[in-house]
Structure 1
Amino acid sequence: MGLSSFFKNLFGSAKESATDLANHAESTFEQAKEAANPYIEKAETFAEETIAKAKEASEPIIDSAVEYADQAKDIVSEYVEKATDSISDVIDSVKEKASDLTSDTKKNTSETVVDASETAATIEEKVEDEIIDGTTDKE
C-alpha cells in the first residue's frame, strides 16, 4: 500500500500545485491589466489627438486640391471647346474637298462621255458617207 499512497500524494500535491499556480496566474493577470490600464488610456488619447491634428493639417491641402481641380477643369473645358471647333473646321474642310473632287470627277466623266459620243457620231457619219458613196477601202 505504500506505493498507492505515494502516487496519491504525488498526484494530489500536483493537483493542488496546479490550482495554486492558476490562481496566482489569474491574480497576476488582473494586476497586469490594472497596471496597463493607464497606458491604454494614454495610447487612446494620443491616437485621438494625432487623428485630430492630421485632420486639421490636411484641411488646407484638401482645400487647395479642390481649388486646383476646379482650375484644371476650367482650363480643360476651354481647350475642349477649342478642340471641338478645330475638329469641326477640319470636318468641314474635308467635306468641301470631297465635294470638289466629286464634282470634278462628275465633270471629267461627263466630258469623257460627250467626247466618246462625238467620236462615235463622227465614225458613224464616215461609215454612212462611205456606204452612201459606195466606196470602200478595198476598191
Structure 2
Amino acid sequence: MGLTTFFKSLFGSTKESVTEPANNTETTLEHATETAETYIEKAETFAEEAIDKVIEVSEPIIEKVKETASEYAEKATEAINDVIESIKEATAETTDETKKLVYETVVDTSEPAIEEADKE
C-alpha cells in the first residue's frame, strides 16, 4: 500500500502544480486580449483620422492636377486636329495631282493611233 500512496501523492501534487499555472496563464491571456483590443481600437481610430487628413490635404492637389491635365488635353486635341487637317490637305493635293497625271497618260484605244492615221 505504501507504493500506491506514494504514486497518488506524487501524481496528485503534480496535477495541482500543473492546474495552478494553467489557470494563471488563462487569466494572463484574458488580460492580454483585453489590453490588445484597447490598442487595436486606438490604432483603428488613428488610422481613420490619418486617412481623413490625407484625403483632406490631397483634394486640392488632385483638383489642380485635373485642371492641368484638362488644359493639356485640350491643347493636345487642338494640335492633333491641326496635324490631321494638314495631312488631309496634303493628301487632297497629292490626289488631285495624281488624277491629273492619270488622265494625261491614259491612251484612248477607241481611236486610231496618230501614226496609223498618217499612213492612210
TM norm. shorter chain > 0.5: yes
Instruction: String of CA shifts for 1:81-102, please: whole Å, max 9, x gaps.
Output: 2122112112212211210220
Structure showing greater radius of gyration is: 1
CA RMSD of aligned residues (A): 2.6
Distance of 2:88 and 2:82 partners within structure 1: 10
Could you list the runs of 5+ residues in structure 2 that have no partner in the other structure? Answer: none
Change (3 A) 1:13 1:117: farther
* Percent identity of paired positions between Structure 1 and Structure 2: 42
Letter in 2 for 1:117: E
Aligned runs of 1:1-139 on 2, under 5 Å?
1-106=1-106, 109-110=107-108, 114-118=113-117, 122=119
Pair 118,47 (structure 1): closer, same or farther in 2 beyond 3 Å: same
Q: Aligned partners of 1:76, 1:84: CA distance in 2, in Å?
A: 12
- Give TM-score scaled by structure 1 length: 0.68
Q: Helix, strand or coil for the counterpart of 2:113?
A: helix
Q: What is the CA-CA distance between 1:77 and the residue it aligns to?
A: 1.7
AA in 2 matched with 1:30: E
Which fold has the larger relative contact order, with Cα–Cα distance below 8 Å and residues 6 or more apart in sequence? 1
Distance 2:88 2:57 in 1: 47
